Amino acid sequence: MRISKAAQQIPPSGIRVFFDLVLGMKDVISLGVGEPDFVTPWNIRERAIYSLEQGYTSYTSNKGMIELRVAVSKHLKRKYGLDYDPEEEILITVGVSEGMDLSFRAIVDRGDKILVPEPYYVCYGPMTTLCGGKPVFIKTDPSKGFKITAKDINKSCDKKTKGIILNYPNNPTGASYSGSEIKSLAGAIKKNDLIAISDEIYCDLTYDSPHVPIATLPGMKERTIYLNGFSKAFAMTGWRIGYACGPKDIIAAMTKIHQYTMMCVPITSQMAALEALKPGDRSVDEMKKEYRRRREFTVSRLNEIGLSCHKPEGAFYAFPSIKKTGLKSMDFARLLLEKEKVAVVPGTAFGSSGEGYLRISYASNMDKLKEAFIRIERFLSSRPKGGAI
C-alpha cells in the first residue's frame, strides 16, 4: 500500500463534492465563505510592495523577524495585558493552521486524548489523529448557546486526556464565551491538568462583550497555547500568517518542528503584518461595526423565515437550524444551490452534531445578503409543507 496508515485514517471530506458543485456553477450568491469580504487595507499592501522593492526577499529567523515578535508582544500587552517574551514565548506561524498543527505535534503522544467541543473547525479532529492522538468530541447545541461548561470538561476527562481545543468566537457557530464563562472553563482545565490550545483568530469580532483570552486568567498562561493571526482582523487570509504564544518549553518544541518543516513564514507576509500591528489603526473598528449590522440583519431574517437561529456573539457566522424542514443539512444545501443558486455550508462539515444546521457566513455585502434571503425565503415557501425531499 502506497498511502500511509496515518493518511488513510483521515476521513475523506464528504463536503468536497458539494464544494466542487458550487465552484462549477455560475452566478451563485455565496454565503459559504470563511473569510472577510474586505481586501487587505491598502497601507498594509503598500508596505509589502515597498519591502519587495527594497529587496526583502530572504529567509528570516525561524521564529520570525524579531521586530514582528516584539510588535506582537506589545500588541497583546496593550490589548489584553498579556505578557509574552518575544525571544522565547512567541513563534510566527503560517496562519493559525500551522500553529495548530505544531501544537499537536509538540504535545500529543500516541494514545493521548484531546477534548474537542463540537461543532468544530474542520482541522482539529484530523490533526489530532495524525499525531496518534484521539479526539474526544463534546457535543453542544443551541439550548446552551453552542457552548461547553466546566461540567462537560470534568465528565469527559480521564487519565489519558492531555488537552482541550478552544475556539472562540467559534467557527462555525459564532458562539463565544464571556469573561465569567471562560473563567469557569479555566477552573475545570486546571483541575484536570489539561493544556488549552486556544484558537482565538476571531477575537476582534465579538459584538456583545469584550473578548477575554483564556491565557489572561490566573494560572492559565503556563498551560495555554494561544493561537492567533492576521487573517480575520486585517483581512489577510491569503498572506498565511499568524502566531503562537505559550510557555517556553512548548514554544521551543514547536519551533524545532517549524524550523524543519517550514523554516520561516514568507518575509513579505511578515513585513505586511508589521504594518498591520501599528497602533492607532481604526480599520478593525470600522469592519466590526459593519459585521455587527450584518449579524443583526442576518439573524432577524433567518428567524423571520422560520429557520430558528440563536444570536452568535462573534465571528461572522450564523448557525441556524433547518430541522423544521425535515431535510438533512447536505440535502438542504444541495437543493438550495440547485433551485436558487445560493451557497451555504451544511453543518455536517463541522462534525456529526452539525446535522440539522447550516453555516451561513455574513461576510458578504448587504446587497448580496438581502438578495440571498429573498431567495432562501422563496425556496422555503416553494417546498411542500412538512414534506421531505
Residues within the interface to another protein (CB under 8 A): 15, 19, 22-23, 28, 30, 32-35, 37, 39, 121-122, 171, 289, 293-294, 296-297, 300-301, 343, 345, 349, 366-367, 370
The two beta strands, 358-361 and 345-346, are: antiparallel
Considering the complex, what minimum distance in angstroms separates the CB of residue 78 from another protein?
Answer: 27
| Distance from C-alpha of 151 to C-alpha of 357, rounded to nearest angstrom | 25
Q: Which is nearer to another protein, 36 or 133 (CB)?
A: 36
DSSP assignment string, 92-150: EESHHHHHHHHHHHHHPPTT-EEEEEES--TTHHHHHHHTT-EEEEEE--GGGTT---H
Instruction: Give the cell for residue 201.
Output: 483568530
Q: Which is nearer to another protein, 19 or 56 (CB)?
A: 19
Q: Which is nearer to another protein, 47 or 359 (CB)?
A: 359
| Distance from C-alpha of 102 to C-alpha of 362, rounded to nearest angstrom | 30
Considering the complex, what minimum distance in angstroms separates the CB of residue 294 from another protein?
Answer: 7
Q: Which is nearer to another protein, 207 or 226 (CB)?
A: 207
Peptide bond into 119 cis (omega under 30): yes
Considering the complex, what minimum distance in angstroms separates the CB of residue 88 from another protein?
Answer: 33
3-class DSSP state of 221 = helix
Considering the complex, what minimum distance in angstroms separates the CB of residue 91 from another protein?
Answer: 24
Considering the complex, what minimum distance in angstroms separates the CB of residue 293 from another protein?
Answer: 4
Considering the complex, what minimum distance in angstroms separates the CB of residue 107 from another protein?
Answer: 24
Q: Which is nearer to another protein, 368 or 383 (CB)?
A: 368
Instruction: Give the cell for residue 258.
Output: 517549524
Considering the complex, what minimum distance in angstroms separates the CB of residue 347 from another protein?
Answer: 12
Q: Which is nearer to another protein, 153 or 333 (CB)?
A: 333
Q: Which is nearer to another protein, 56 or 297 (CB)?
A: 297
| Distance from C-alpha of 333 to C-alpha of 31, rounded to nearest angstrom | 11
- Spatial neighbors of 260 by CB under 8 A, at least 6 apart, are none
| Distance from C-alpha of 38 to C-alpha of 311, rounded to nearest angstrom | 23
Q: b/e string for 139-161 if b means 16 or more Cβ within 10 A?
A: ebbbeebbbbebebbeebbeeeb
Q: Answer whether 242's CB lies under 8 Å from 227's CB.
A: yes
Q: Answer whether 16's CB lies under 8 Å from 211's CB.
A: no
Considering the complex, what minimum distance in angstroms separates the CB of residue 359 from another protein?
Answer: 9
Q: Which is nearer to another protein, 158 or 367 (CB)?
A: 367
Residue 56 DSSP code: -
